[in-house]
Structure 1
């Protein structure tokens, strides 16, 4: 058991060190990383494509890394925005790590880039545990997923600097209880901003872009109650409950 704990701490320390160094390096270049986390099917790619297109229209130098276990479908979709896009195939790995992000940036990232969006693997468990060197972490959830999602995945929502609820045009049909959702989000992450979005209508696109630009320009970000920690695949299947989040006060 001691050896296992040591291994976990080593994984955490190595990733944290690489993430901190990457963040420092990119910040000196005037570039920030935005890490996007969500379940599969949340509309993350569609919203990101709209954000990238808006940035390009405004003359902002923006780039995106998009991660999937297989296919380059999302990279092709995002490239329609006119932004620089690169696909990361994880070959079965359910999350990105800082070393992968740094490795994929070398020799690819345009020198004048101001914003780098990283579309993480669709998963609210493992990706939440790894700092990628981001300055802004956005967690997205579609109205079709149910308003109790923040309570089921407290680590993801508890590490977010910004929460975006997507597909709001379907809220009524899905029976989405937005008031309950907001209560649940603020239970695990008091004070975090919640943005409503709909890629079809463009609602929320400018807000997401403006939040990223504000961080680029030095604006402070919301301080979430949790920090990324390595996810633990325990033999009993229990995972890592991060019990600290349950003591967060309700809003």
Structure 2
């Protein structure tokens, strides 16, 4: 960032935004990798259908959580940054939008990384990591010159998206589960985003966020991407 922009202010904005993004990724991976032993257990018992069901629902739920984060950042990102970091960091709020979308891609790719562990495909995981880094190191500087911290965050988004797409493609034969519920869960979040145009004072933005998340939940339940039985833990088999 500094070599590209020679602007320590932009370096600071990117550092704050990416630091929170990286912390979120670490927390997400701890959740995902906790399922490794369970999936291996099912596979070794020959119950691949059960393993696939768990993986598919894990992917869908991670996508729901990540899409909820995207909605939250779009609706109250500026308010949250001002409260948590101080008003001087308010310009950094725009950097959180591409990183929130990148986190959505990471949520999807994390299940692919989990599958590389379960299926013992370390080469796929290593290649995916290289693909994720390539856009940042090739286009990140150019984007940073043009758009500062936001440009660098767009490069992160490009890398995360390419990583997710590659893992889905590379594991298509070892992948007995479907990405459709997760993709549908992400798409269902789009109709509530126009509510952000009515933002104003922070109480209004908070109220709009609650309404948007409520509408998103209603869409998920109405289309049965998420079910009441699933919420109460009555659908998936456990050991």
Q: Same fold (TM over 0.5)?
A: no
| TM-score between the two structures when normalised by the length of structure 2 | 0.28
Using CA pairs below 8 Å that are at least 6 residues apart, which structure has the higher relative contact order? 2
| TM-score between the two structures when normalised by the length of structure 1 | 0.27
Q: Which has the higher helix share?
A: 2
Q: Which has the higher strand share?
A: 1
- Between Structure 1 and Structure 2, whose CA radius of gyration is higher? 2
